[in-house]
């Protein structure tokens, strides 16, 4: 289970000293080819970090040879100095490995608004370059911030492998803390094929993972192919493998979300379109009163109705139904006998809402709102 | 400070037994005239409670003679029976007082999805009718749910009075729990004048109070005039008095919001339009990471930037500035020295954000996200 399982990839991790905890905080991933194709998706936040701007430009031509990571500092909201620091990281890696700087991406995660401690970062890069090898597992640990466990995945295709590592939760629409994902494969694939597979996969995995409605300045998902297997999968197979990897990482992120005590899926059916179903599911998934009820294992379907009633989508307000873990608790927008007795004490809660307006369906994954979430996020910088 | 201070109004409160706590849970307000003009605004939630549907119809002609309130049960998501129950409350009050049912409004607040205990409600109405008098203060107590203090206001105009009571926090865009407000005045005013004053006042008070982004099924704000003072204020004076009363009640609601430890105002300047400024302020005010930072007295301006970056409005991402309690902490989207040392330990936090995109300004009032918020809202029905 590692990004260095597919042929053609090396990785390294080190403790540069950026994190006060003394845990590993830098990682490097190198694609030794023969191909060095890449696809990437980034945060939609207008306020995006220097490494995002830099990596967007680097990935534009569909080629990446290496990616350098640091945790403990997001290099976001750091102005011109921040961009210069990201460029220096990119340049140092390129120089050490004999690569062109524009083929090196850079990802940072951690505190916003603090300048990167560049002397430490420089030392870290030297150590990373010296330590390259089959160290995917160590790299996955080095990119963690408030994650409690590293997140890795390995999927086997027909004659090729796809490995992945991820940290944080959320992306684009979502984001609890920055989400960084690196996927590596030894399949033979054009940049266009990688891009299609990655966009399709993120749309139905990370994009529908919505922990707290906040969106990071740094979210970055990269997919690198070395072609070292010599096997060129059909697009459908590539799509399926990338989606499976993204789905597993998304599930791991949901399970490890800050303060999570419940994994909650919100499915909206009976919507006019798939898009409206998703908008309605997201509205419910972001409602703090619903999220607190989930924390309390409280089958409070009235809050679900109140939340969905504010979604800017077509619905029949007199004909909404709600199920908790398969139990019908609300029909035609009123209580079903025994609704308050449904047991939600387990760690997984499935909420299904039918809007009575059409045939389309959509699902969003979220979590409860717990004391631990408040605790972690009220004492992050202090 | 009471809705019965203006001439022409009587009120009553009683303990019908709807609340398990044994606290007062029903109230009645009667306008004895000579005028009985009224204006009203209601929740924008598509899922709205039976009493909202009923009161909308009652207020449509600009006349209300009486309003009956109950707390402890919202009569929301209660289907046909719920509407029949609201009609019975309206009819019973009308019959007892010799009024036409369509001139009686009905407001409920409390648990969603439970049928009203009508035998208790019937007894309550009898007690209310028998107890009418200068009992505005008692009425203000009887409409409380999770409120810790009753909320009343009294404003003096030139020769007339305007009194008000309110409960809960939020409305329309916002709402933590249901918000109910009743304003009474002995000014002489047409329904049109009342409507103009009320819409203008709610837009800049209750509508920009956003505690948790949730919106109740029951929010109702009523303004009743008896004309008993004989004084007809100019529209501007009426506007000013109504706005002042709404502002004071909104402030009282913010201060008493569920679990509040900080009163937070979010001002966005430098926006392209007042509407965009408000959208951006609301986006920041609803961000759980920002709200947790406020709870922790943490001057984490990076989260403010990350939050505002997701607002669907024009901004210059390189030129955003942030002030906490007047201290510049972020300029040109980067840290100002000493930013992390700003003291936010007091109960009031003013966040000012400049988008660098225009000249317009908007302010939203919100609160922090505390352990107590989670506690109250994870154990509401259980």
Query: pLDDT digit string (tens) for B320-354?
Result: 999 999 999 999 999 999 888 999 999 999 999 99
A213, A298, A381: residue with CB nearest B300: A381
CA distance B248 to B261: 19
Residue B167 is labelled as binding a ligand? yes
Start-to-end CA distance of chain B, whole Å, equals: 35
Whether B356 has a pLDDT exceeding 70, the answer reads yes
Q: Which chain A residues are Cβ-neighbours of B44 within 8 angstroms? A: 310
Phi, psi dihedrals of residue B346, rounded to the nearest 5°:
-75, 175
What H or E segment, with its residue span, contains residue A372?
helix A371-378
Contact A320/B47, CB-based, under 8 Å?
A: yes
pLDDT in tens, B140-153: 999 998 888 999 99
With beta carbons under 8 A apart, name residues in chain A contacting B373: 288, 292, 374
Cβ pairs bridging A and B (under 8 Å) = 215
Please indicate whether residue B334 or residue B213 has the higher confidence score (pLDDT). B334
Burial B27-41 (b: 16+ CB within 10 A, else e): bbbbbeeebbbbbbb
Nearest C-alpha neighbor of B154 from the set B271, B33, B242: B242
Contact partners, residue B369, CB within 8 Å, separation at least 6? A288, A374, A378, B212, B259, B288, B291, B292, B294, B295
Q: Is the Cβ–Cβ distance between A329 and A323 less than 8 Å?
A: yes
Interface of B with A in 74-113 (CB under 8 A): 74, 76-79, 81-82, 111-113
Residues A308, B212: Cα–Cα separation, whole Å: 15
pLDDT value of residue B176: 44
Q: Which residues of B touch A298 (CB under 8 A)?
A: 378-382
Query: How close, in Å, is residue B265 to chain A by CA atoms?
Result: 18
Q: Count Cα neighbours of A85 within 13 Å in the Cβ-side half-sphere.
A: 27
**Is B325 annotated for ligand binding?**
no
Interface test with A, best of B75, B77, B175 (most A CBs within 10 A): B77
Average pLDDT score over residue span B9-35: 97
Q: Which of B79, B116, B378, B380 should we substitute to test contact with A (largest number of A Cβ atoms within 10 Å)?
A: B378
User: Cα(first)–Cα(last) distance of chain A, in Å?
Assistant: 35
Sheet holding A9-14, edge to edge: A9-14, A26-31, A66-73, A104-111
Q: Is A295 on the interface with B (CB under 8 A)?
A: yes
State the smallest CA–CA distance between residue A225 and chain B in angstroms.
32
The stretch B244-258 carries a mean pLDDT of 88
pLDDT value at A1 more than 70 = no
Of B215, B296, B315, the CB nearest to A382: B296
Percent above pLDDT 90 for chain A: 73
CA distance A146 to A58: 28
Share of chain B above pLDDT 90, in %: 72
From the list B86, B27, B95, B32, the residue with the least C-alpha distance to B64 is B32
pTM of the model: 0.82
Q: Cβ distance A134 to A104 under 8 Å?
A: no
A382 is in an annotated binding site: yes
Q: Which chain A residues have a beta carbon less than 8 Å from that of B112?
A: 300, 302-303, 305-306
Euclidean distance between CA atoms A94 and A89, whole angstroms: 9
Q: Which residue has the higher pLDDT, A302 or B138?
A: B138
Radius of gyration of chain B (CA): 22
Interchain contact, B300 vs A44, CB within 8 Å:
no
Find out whether B302 and A111 touch, Cβ atoms under 8 Å. Answer: yes
Query: Does residue B310 contact residue B356 with C-beta atoms inside 8 Å?
Result: no
**pLDDT score recorded for residue A370:** 87
CA distance A368 to chain B (A): 10
A10-53: pLDDT as tens digits: 999 999 999 999 999 999 999 999 999 999 999 888 889 999 99
Among positive and negative, which fits the CA dihedral B156, B158, B161, B162? negative
Q: How confident is the model at residue B169 (pLDDT cuts 50, 70, 90)?
A: low
- What does the pLDDT average to over B59-70? 97
* CA gap B10, B343 in Å, rounded: 48
pLDDT band at A175 (very low <50, low <70, confident <90, very high): very low
User: Could you tell me which chain A residue has the CA closest to the CA of B295?
Assistant: A378
CB-based contact A298 B213, cutoff 8 Å: no
Closest CA to B38 of B49, B26, B30: B30
Does residue B70 belong to the interface with chain A, where contact is any CB pair within 8 Å? no
- Sign, CA torsion A145/A150/A151/A152: positive
Name beta bridge partners: A364. A266
Q: Which of residues 303-342 of B touch A (CB under 8 A)?
A: 303, 305-310, 315, 317-318, 320, 330, 332-335, 339-340
Residue A169 pLDDT:
62
CA atoms of A255 and A276, how far apart (whole Å): 26
CB contact under 8 A, A298 and B378: yes
Instruction: Give the Cα separation of B217 and B168 in Å (integer).
Output: 13
Q: Using CA atoms, how far apart are residues B259 and B242, in angstroms rounded to an integer?
A: 28
Q: What is the mean pLDDT of chain B?
A: 92
Interface probe for A, chosen from B306, B334, B336, B379 (most Cβ of A below 10 Å), is: B306
Chain A: nearest CA to B375, how far in angstroms? 8
B248 assigned to a ligand binding site: no
pLDDT of residue A168: 82
The per-residue pLDDT for B177 is 57
Tell me which residue has tokens 């709200």: B291
Beta carbons of A113 and B380 less than 8 Å apart: no
Whether residue A343 lies within 8 A of chain B, CB to CB, comes out as no
Do residue B382 and residue A339 have CB atoms under 8 angstroms apart? no
Average pLDDT of B187-212?
91
- Please tell me the predicted confidence (pLDDT) of residue B208: 82
Q: Which residues contact B223 (CB under 8 A, 6 or more apart)?
A: B38, B39, B40, B183, B184, B185, B194, B197, B198, B242
Instruction: With residue B255 as reference, give the H or E element that holds it.
Output: helix B235-255
The rounded distance, in Å, linking the Cα atoms of B25 and A149 is 50
**Candidate from A53-57, A185-189, B303-307 with smallest mean pLDDT:** B303-307
Which of A14, A43, A109, A178 is catalytic? The answer is A178
Task: Return the axis-axis angle of helices A79-97 and A118-130, rounded to nearest 10°.
Answer: 20
Across the interface, whether the CB atoms of B215 and A309 are under 8 A apart is answered yes
């Amino acid at each position: 289970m590692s990004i260095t399982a597919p042929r053609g990839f090396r990785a390294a991790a080190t403790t540069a000293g950026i994190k006060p905890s003394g845990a590993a905080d830098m990682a490097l991933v190198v694609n030794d080819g023969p191909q060095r194709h890449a696809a990437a998706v980034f945060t939609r936040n207008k306020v995006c970090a220097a490494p995002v701007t830099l990596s967007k430009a680097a990935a534009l031509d569909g080629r990446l040879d290496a990616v350098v990571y640091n945790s403990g500092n997001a290099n976001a909201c750091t102005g011109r100095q921040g961009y210069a620091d990201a460029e220096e990281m990119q340049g140092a890696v390129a120089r050490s490995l004999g690569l062109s700087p524009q083929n090196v991406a850079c990802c940072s995660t951690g505190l916003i608004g603090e300048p990167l401690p560049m002397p430490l970062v420089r030392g870290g890069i030297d150590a990373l370059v010296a330590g390259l090898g089959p160290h995917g597992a160590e790299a996955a640990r080095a990119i963690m911030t408030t994650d409690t466990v590293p997140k890795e995945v390995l999927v086997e295709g027909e004659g090729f492998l796809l490995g992945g590592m991820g940290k944080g939760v959320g992306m684009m629409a979502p984001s609890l803390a920055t989400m960084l994902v690196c996927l590596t494969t030894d399949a033979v694939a054009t940049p266009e094929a990688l891009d299609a597979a990655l966009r399709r996969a993120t749309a139905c995995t990370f994009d529908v993972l919505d922990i707290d409605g906040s969106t990071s300045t740094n979210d970055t998902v990269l997919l690198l192919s070395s072609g070292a297997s010599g096997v060129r999968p059909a697009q459908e197979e590539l799509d399926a493998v990338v989606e499976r990897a993204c789905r597993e990482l998304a599930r791991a992120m949901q399970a490890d979300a800050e303060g999570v005590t419940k994994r909650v899926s919100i499915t909206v059916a009976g919507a006019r379109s798939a898009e409206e179903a998703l908008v309605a599911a997201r509205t419910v998934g972001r409602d703090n009163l619903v999220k607190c009820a989930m924390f309390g294992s409280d089958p409070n379907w009235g809050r679900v109705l109140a939340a969905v009633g504010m979604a800017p989508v077509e619905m029949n307000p007199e004909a909404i139904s709600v199920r908790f873990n398969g139990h019908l608790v609300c029909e035609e927008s009123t209580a079903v006998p025994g609704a308050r007795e449904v047991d939600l004490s387990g760690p997984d809660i499935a909420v299904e809402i039918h809007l009575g307006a059409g045939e389309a369906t959509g699902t969003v994954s979220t979590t409860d709102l717990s004391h631990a979430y408040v605790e972690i996020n009220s004492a992050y910088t202090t």
